[in-house]
Amino acid sequence: MSLPKINVKEVDEMLEKAKNMKPEDLLFKYKGILYPSLHSQPENIDAIESFEAREDDLLLVAYPKCGYNWMIQVLNKLAFSAGKLKNPKYIPYLEFTNPEKLKLLSTLPSTRILGTHMNTNNIPVSFFEKKSKILVVLRNPKDTAVSYFHFYNKNPALPAFDSWDKFFSQYMSGEVMWGSYFDHAVLWEKYIDSENVKIVTYEDLKANLTEEIKEIAKYFNYTLSDEQIQTIAEESTFDAMKEKSQETYGSFGKVIFRKGGVGDWKNHFSDEQSKEVDARFEQCLAGTKIGAKLKYEVHCK
């Protein structure tokens, strides 16, 4: 199958435009949440509130730097191998889709694979009303912070941070794009036992990609052979995807793919910062099913 690709020309034009913009103009705040202004506008977010989901839609949800681009590739391969998708395409975030493009989405044949970074409060309610299949990818908060920091500083379309400490402070206060990591994670506790929501973690995907892909296929009711699952897993490792990033993302691939590991937070966090995240986790997620899913004691201690 061909790989889903972003519109490289469109991205290059966006990056060129960013060179002439002030850092403070690269983001805008809407209903208390920061969004990238070169990708989205308030009218986009207004428009998706009334977006009509379908029962057979697949919605991928991930807070930034928790595995969105990774899983877009996996879902395309699964749907294609199962005969549900004829022409794999890179699916942009709903919040990047202007009203005109949203109308185009409504004309696409099923199966539609859609995605977002937004939390449950901002996802169009029709996905829950229609009981569309939702796949949520979570990642431990410490590695998420580190990956997000580097993403900000490698992406010309975003204002860079002059220090890790400054970024960490804003990450903890939710003054980064798409708001607070902890708000995002906490809100999924309500849906963790829903038949139409499957929650996986970045760390489990790294540890046993083949088994996780098999479970995702089962969740979507896709019948694939063990050989097909194994092939998808081999083609979807971080190294394999990074190697093809020039083909799928153009020069932007260098921004998206960095290390893709687990535990890099230890190279950035001070003891005080680590304890601050520990305390926030204890306050927000300790004792919850989401907290248990994240295996915090394993990955963040």
> Does the annotation count 117 as an active-site position?
yes
Q: How many CA atoms lie within 13 A of 126 on its CB side?
A: 13
Q: For residues 207 and 298, what is the distance between their CA atoms, to the nearest angstrom?
A: 13
Q: Tell me which residue has tokens 């996780």.
A: 212
* DSSP codes of every residue in the chain: -PPP---HHHHHHHHHHHTTS-GGGSEEEETTEEEETTT--HHHHHHHTT----TT-EEEEE-TTSSHHHHHHHHHHHHHHTTS-SS--PPPBGGG--HHHHHHHHHSPSPPEEEE---TTTS-THHHHTT-EEEEEE--HHHHHHHHHHHHHH-TTSPPPS-HHHHHHHHHHT-SBT--HHHHHHHGGGGTT-TTEEEEEHHHHHH-HHHHHHHHHHHTT----HHHHHHHHHHTSHHHHHHTHHHHHGGGHHHH-S---S-GGGGT--HHHHHHHHHHHHHHTTTSHHHHHHTHHHH--
- Considering the candidates 117, 150, 184, 299, report the single residue annotated as catalytic: 117
Residues in the chain: 301
Of 173, 153, 66, which is closest to residue 116 (Cα–Cα)? 66
Q: Give me the active site residues, please.
A: 117
